[in-house]
Amino acid sequence: MISSLSGSSRVFGIMGHPVRHSLSPAMQNAALQACGLDGVYVPFDVRPERLGEAVAGLRALGVGGVNVTIPHKTGIVQYLDELDESAEAAGAVNTVKNDNGRMVGYNTDGDGLLRSLAEDFAFSPKNSSVVIIGAGGAACGAIAALCRAGARRIEIVNRSVDKAASLAAAMEERYPGTVLAVTGFGTGLAPILQGAGLVVNTTSLGMKDETIAGLEPEALHHEAIIYDMVYAPPVTPLLLEAQRLGLRHANGLGMLAAQGELAFRIWTGMLPPRGLMGRVLAGISAQ
Ligand code: NAP
């Protein structure tokens, strides 16, 4: 790929701190190559206090676009010229496009989740009833995308109930077509789960073998889907439980690939070959 770079190569990248564990360079470079595009995608390790300079640098150097990851997803907003509805609703940016010097922020996490659910389960959010575990950045993106796609009801279950309540109120104001409700952790969740078609874990619980207090998937309908945004380890205790009960389930690798595909389309106008990014990620996570 490097040997094919030229004087007119476009540069893309990811800004985070730290960024060396990111899987995005592998999947984005594979996509550039597969689409025959003259470009390269590189990691940029940017300290929070230098974020403003970094964005000015992207503009000055004509970098085509970047992904944005922890800890910059909200901090970068103040340095951008415009926010797409996806980023404004989520209150966070994971993709920036340099549109002739105008830096535009997007959030492809939520639509990435929906794309993964559509591809893996043919799930349509229209009129659905969804339980979202968590009320952080990943939850905001997911809830906003579900509301835009016509979800009927979303129940947010979170440790900090106040935080979930503010999020629910903000989303209901923006998307009045969806009913939002809030429940705390630890209380019996069975009545909420009974009517749900989809449960999404947006917390980091499961990365270290933790279970989610009060979440008993036995209460779910047999056609319900359990989606865990965690992808390392590939099988969390929640997914193990879904497996045991014979429920449809997936980890967050599909979403990671899909948010990358949507970012790639924002920058290049093209989608990578179907399944390519997912195969790259699966190859890395199997190592
Ligand atoms: P965040 O903004 O820090 O939010 C963390 C959420 O997890 C909050 O709701 C927090 O509850 C909850 N939480 C954390 N530790 C907890 C504990 N010990 N007990 C109960 N609740 C706990 O983080 P984020 O950006 O939303 O990311 C969350 C997870 O999603 C991460 O694991 C991240 O890797 C994953 N993610 C995956 C993808 C993907 O493509 N697959 C994309 C984005 C994020 P409180 O509000 O009570 O603190």
pLDDT digits (tens, 9 = 90+) for 15-37: 999 999 999 999 999 999 999 99
Q: How confident is the model at residue 118 (pLDDT cuts 50, 70, 90)?
A: very high
Mean pLDDT across the chain:
95
pTM of the prediction? 0.94
User: Which amino acid is located at 147 in the chain?
Assistant: C
From the candidates 73, 97, 126, 208, give the one annotated as an active-site residue. Answer: 73
How close is the Cα of 29 to the center of ligand 1, in Å?
A: 28
Mutate to test the pocket of ligand 1, among 133, 189, 204 (most ligand atoms within 8 A of CB): 204
pLDDT digits (tens, 9 = 90+) for 129-162: 999 999 998 999 999 999 999 999 999 999 999 9
Residue 213: the pLDDT is 85
User: 75 CB less than 6 Å from ligand 1?
Assistant: no
User: 137 CB less than 6 Å from ligand 1?
Assistant: yes
Mean of the pLDDT values across residues 240-269?
A: 97
- Taking the CA of residue 185 as reference, the ligand 1 atom at the shortest distance is 20
Residue 287: the pLDDT is 72
208 is a catalytic site residue: no
Residue 3: the pLDDT is 61
Between CA 14 and CA 22 the distance in angstroms is: 8
